[in-house]
């Protein structure tokens, strides 16, 4: 548990003017901590242009930002798992550091290339003699006096498997904008939507052998355009790697789409995506015929199949309430400080 004192300042390390799931989750947590009476700020780094670093999407959260952190042990610095250099920076030597594991896969996608690039430099081998470079590997993180917060059940399991015990789990919640975009008056069509940026060759194989289906890639679209297709589509298919609790499947479920997904990353855990197992498949070629059968089933019997996703939709509708409850579990407020 993290103790929040009246003088505690909580900083969130975040990329400037960058809109994606991770930064939004950081803004959401800072927003609700402030609503609970905390002093939470965004710290955008690197931010060398000295312009407004707040992306327009996140202005509604009204989180103030700072360009300098007060390095005191009563303060807290919360880092996403893809931005861990501050763990070893002297200007953050005293502040309490917390890693919020918004993703697992993205952690390795960021860390491993960085290790390879650094080791190719001559200076790396010279520095090993007097000032070695430290990488934020899991073994290093385990030895540091820092806190870890899981975001997905997938990240919780991964940390525990590496002997790192998180102090709790806080997941994000879907932006209220998506609920407002649900249009029940739009007739559902035999449309299958997918995200080509997050999928693999496995889905391409399915698409190639099903020219009879109307596959629509959601690519380079505005949120309004994405919502338009989701309102019309009967089915969302996703065989991506799911580094954490992905937003697009949640959006699709909110928009009353059936889901067919793989078992990579968080997608394999019902704790992260609580849908019946008959809609979840391994990425194996011998499973393609079964997947196509289930696709046909979702399209031909949509009114029946969509009922199986009601429990998940209810969970999504209550994500923000769960989010606030989890905050109060992970953060402990001094009685005279916390707002009722």
Q: Is the torsion defined by CA of 196, 202, 203, 209 positive or negative?
A: positive
Q: How far is CA 297 from the centre of its chain?
A: 30
Q: Is the confidence at residue 4, as pLDDT, over 90?
A: yes
Mean of the per-residue pLDDT values of the chain? 92
Q: Is the confidence at residue 38, as pLDDT, over 90?
A: yes
- Are 63 and 39 within 8 A, CB to CB? no
Fold observed for domain 176-318: Rossmann fold (3.40.50)
Contacts of residue 321, defined as CB under 8 A and 6 or more positions apart, other chains included, come to none
Give the Cα separation of 249 and 259 in Å (integer).
7
Is residue 132 very low, low, confident or very high in pLDDT (cuts 50, 70, 90)? low
pLDDT of residue 157: 97
Is residue 127 very low, low, confident or very high in pLDDT (cuts 50, 70, 90)? low
pLDDT of residue 333: 82
CATH 3.40.50.2000: which residues of the chain? 176-318
Which has more pLDDT, 23 or 338? 23
Whether CATH 3.40.50 fits 2-172: yes
Helices and strands: H and E segment counts in the chain? 13, 13
Task: Provide Rg for the chain, Cα atoms.
Answer: 22
Closest by Cα among 322, 202, 319 to 251? 319
């Amino acid at each position: 548990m993290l103790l929040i004192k009246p003088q505690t300042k909580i900083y969130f390390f975040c990329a400037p003017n960058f809109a994606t799931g991770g930064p939004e989750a950081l803004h959401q947590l800072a927003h609700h901590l402030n609503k609970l009476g905390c002093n939470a700020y965004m710290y955008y780094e690197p931010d060398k242009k000295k312009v407004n670093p707040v992306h327009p999407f996140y202005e509604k959260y009204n989180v103030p930002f700072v360009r300098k952190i007060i390095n005191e042990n009563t303060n807290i610095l919360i880092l996403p798992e893809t931005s861990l250099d501050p763990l070893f920076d002297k200007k953050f030597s005293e502040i309490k550091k917390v890693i919020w594991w918004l993703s697992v896969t993205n952690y390795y996608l960021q860390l491993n290339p960085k290790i390879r690039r650094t080791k190719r430099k001559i200076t790396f081998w010279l520095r090993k003699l007097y000032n070695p470079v430290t990488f934020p590997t899991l073994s290093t993180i385990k030895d540091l006096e820092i806190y870890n917060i899981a975001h997905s059940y997938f990240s919780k399991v991964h940390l525990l498997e590496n002997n790192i015990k998180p102090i709790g789990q806080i997941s994000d919640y879907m932006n209220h904008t998506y609920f407002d975009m649900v249009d029940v008056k739009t007739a559902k069509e035999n449309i299958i939507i997918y995200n080509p940026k997050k999928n693999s060759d496995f889905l391409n194989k399915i698409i190639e052998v099903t020219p009879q289906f109307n596959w629509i890639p959601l690519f380079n679209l505005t949120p309004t355009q994405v919502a338009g297709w989701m309102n019309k589509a009967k089915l969302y298919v996703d065989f991506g790697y799911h580094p954490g609790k992905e937003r697009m499947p949640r959006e699709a479920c909110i928009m009353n789409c059936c889901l067919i997904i793989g078992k990579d990353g968080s997608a394999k855990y019902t704790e992260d995506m609580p849908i019946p197992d008959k809609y979840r498949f391994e990425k194996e070629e011998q499973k393609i015929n079964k997947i196509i059968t289930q696709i046909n089933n979702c399209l031909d019997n949509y009114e029946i199949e969509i009922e199986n996703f009601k429990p998940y939709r209810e969970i999504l509708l209550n994500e923000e309430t769960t989010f606030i409850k989890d905050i109060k579990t992970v953060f402990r407020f001094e009685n005279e400080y916390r707002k009722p």
